[in-house]
Structure 1
Amino acid sequence: MNKKKRLLMRTSILLLLLVAIGYTMYTNFFQSKEIVDVGDEAPNFVLTDLEGNEVMLSDYRGKGVFLNFWGTWCKPCEREMPYMENQYQAFQEQGVEVIAVNIRETNLAVEKFRDRHGLTFPIPMDKRDQVRQAYGILPLPTTILLDENGKIVKKHSGDLTEEEVKEFMEMIKPK
C-alpha cells in the first residue's frame, strides 16, 4: 500500500511539472510578445546617453523618430548602422531624429562601436533592459517609427537596407 501511495504521489508531481513546462513553452513561443503596436502612443522613457545626457522620448515631439533597438554583437545591427547614419545626415534638417537604444552593454563597448562607425545620432543606454521590455522588443534589431505626435506608424524587425531606411525616414518626416 505504501508503494502505491508513493507511485501515485510521484506520478502526480511529474504530471504537474509537465503541465507547468508545457504552459511555459506555450506562452514563450506561441503567444504574441507585442506590447506596443501601430497606432499606439509610444511609451515615454528617460535613458542616459554615452555623454551622460538624459534622452527623454517626449522631448522629440514635433519630429519624426526612427527608434532603433540594437546591440554591438548583433551583425544585422552593425550592417544597418552606416545606412542609418547616412540617412540621419540627410533627414535631420527635415525634422527626423534617430534614437538608437543600446541594450544591456557597457559604455566602453558602445563607444568603440560608435567611433568605429562614425555615428553621430543619440545612443541612449538601456542597461537594465527596461525600455526594450516596455516595448516588447524581440529580436534585435527592431525599429519603431514614430510620427511627430509620438504615435507608432510602423514596426520592423530585422536589418534594413539603405533604401528601406530612407523610405522609413520619408514616412515619418513631419509635414
Structure 2
Amino acid sequence: MAPTKYLMSNGLAFSENKDMEKLRKKALKGWNLKKFRFMGYELEKGECEDVIFSIDYRKLQPGEQVEYFDMFSDSGWEHVCSSHDMHIFKAKKGTIPIYSDVETSRDKLERLGKPVQAYTVFMLALTVILWTAMTLASGFVQTIVEWIFLTSVVLAVPAIMTTMAITYHKWKNRRKYKMQQG
C-alpha cells in the first residue's frame, strides 16, 4: 500500500484555481490525487506527473456517468475522483481547459450556486426560527434551543461566505463577458 497524505482545501468556492494548482505541484513531486476527503484531498505517493487539474460540478443522473466521463476523455481529460456532484479531472499540461470561455464558466458557476444558495436560505431561515424560539423559551428548553441555535450559526456563516464567493465569481464572470462583447 502506497503512503498517503492529506492536503487541505482552500475552499473551492473561494479559490478553486489555487486548489487545482496545489494539486498540480504535488503531482510534480509524485503525490497524486486519490480522492476527496473532508475539507481537502487524499494524495497517494506514486510516479511524478506533469498534469493540470480541473473540476466540474454536475449532478449525474443514473446511467449518465459513462457518457459524461467519455466526453471528457475524448477531450484529453482523465477522471480522477468524484464526491457528491464534484468531479476532478487531470490532463497533460497544454490540454485545452475544460472551461475555456466565459459561457461555460458561467454555466459551471450556476450549477455550483443553486444547491449552495438553497442550503444557505435554509440555514438562515432555521437560524431565525431558532433565535425566535430561544427568545421565547425559558429554563431548560431555552438552554437546549441556545445550543441548537449556536450550531445553526456555525453552519450558516460558512454557507453565507460560500454564497458570497460564488456571487462574486458570477459578477466577475459577467464583467469579463461584457468586456468581450463590447
TM-score range, shorter chain: under 0.3
Output the TM-score relative to the length of structure 1: 0.26
Higher relative contact order (CA 8 A, sep 6+): 1
Output the TM-score relative to the length of structure 2: 0.25
Give the greater-gyration-radius structure (CA).
Answer: 1
